[in-house]
Amino acid sequence: MLILSRLERLRAMALRKLIHVVLSVFLIIPFIMNLGIYGISTTLYFTLITLIVSVIYVIQVKRPIITIMLLDALTSARRSILQQITKSPISSAIPLDTLDDSLMKLEKTVKELLDSVERDYERRGGYLGILMGGAIGVLISQLLTGNYVIYGIISVIIYDTMSALGGTLLGRVKLPFSNATMEGALVGMASLAIVLFILTNQLIGPLAITVVAALAEAYGMEDNLAIPVTTSLIALVLKLPIIV
């Protein structure tokens, strides 16, 4: 039962982090595309991302949350499909009860999937991590450190993802005064150190960044805000090569 519960949590965490990585791709765009030809600077790009995410966040907080709207849309679609089929000449050839059961199972599957992905505070107050890490944290890092923000983006993608997966799968020992685990921190640090070493061909600086990322994740009020800001700043202080 314990193993099954851990696997279920790992599956939910893996899906949540997959969404995290996919959304984070938008943060890398200024470094892989020349947005200057469109008159868009890196700072302007992150400002626009922040504006868009802020609008979505406000809508979500003030109105029914996205998951409820999605489930309502699925229910309405199911009823509409059944009504249309009932009125059609081929209705007698279609087992409506079986179709209805199948569509209801789809709704249940989607609901369970969304319930497993969302965290409690996200249901209460919106997707704060997306606002803080995907927008505000990166924008602040860009304003403070310029192109060193890339270290913050890489850190929040790699460390945040791998430490969460490692902690869910292997976590046993909690770090003092934190919900983070020692095992998760080590997995995240090792993963981030390897990536940064490959990109910079340096060892000491990347190791310092991994330590900062681990502390920010474990003791920051919001890791998606703390990780990009602190890791970008330490990269700037250490004068690491800018990855572009």
pLDDT of 127 above 60: no
Compute the average pLDDT of residues 213-228. Answer: 89
Cα separation, 170 vs 178, whole angstroms = 16
pLDDT of 132 above 60: no
Q: Supply the DSSP symbol for 119.
A: -
Write out pLDDT tens, residues 195-208.
999 999 999 999 99
More confident residue, 238 or 56: 238
Find the angle CA(92)-CA(97)-CA(100) to the nearest 5 degrees: 115
Which ranges of the chain does DSSP label H, i.e. alpha helix?
Answer: 2-32, 42-62, 66-87, 96-117, 120-125, 128-131, 137-145, 149-170, 182-200, 204-219, 223-237
Q: Identify the pLDDT of residue 2.
A: 47
Residue 241: count of CB within 10 angstroms of its CB: 12
Q: Identify the pLDDT of residue 111.
A: 62
